[in-house]
Amino acid sequence: MKAIIKAAEWTLGPETAEGAPSEPMYESECTTCGESSGATDREQLPAEVWALKHTGAHPDHRTYRAIMTSFWRVSPAQGNPYRDLEAQ
């Protein structure tokens, strides 16, 4: 059976599933060559140090994209029929 719910409330919050990162992940990406520091959990310092070292090795590479990734989950709020379905 399919149902269309035209008005239902939802909540948005951090992803809490087992194994999901609980803290943001940080990464630096060189906008000159596209090389990346790779993502690190919880601390942005390794991404910052990588950018500084990358410029040291490539003095004309001086601009970076700072990428911060966090994970969210949308859940049914109180009164949303899907909340009752998930509880079963």
pLDDT tens sequence across 59-87? 999 999 999 999 999 889 888 888 878 77
Q: What is the pTM of this model?
A: 0.72
Q: The tokens of 42 are what?
A: 């919880």
Q: In what order do the strands lie in the sheet with 64-69?
A: 40-41, 25-30, 64-69
- Please report the pLDDT score of residue 83 as a whole number: 85
Structure tokens at 7: 């008005």
Q: List the beta bridge partners of residue 65.
A: 29
Which runs of consecutive H residues, i.e. helices, occur in the chain? 45-57, 81-87
Nearest to 66 by CA among 47, 85, 86: 47
Tokens of 64: 């970076």
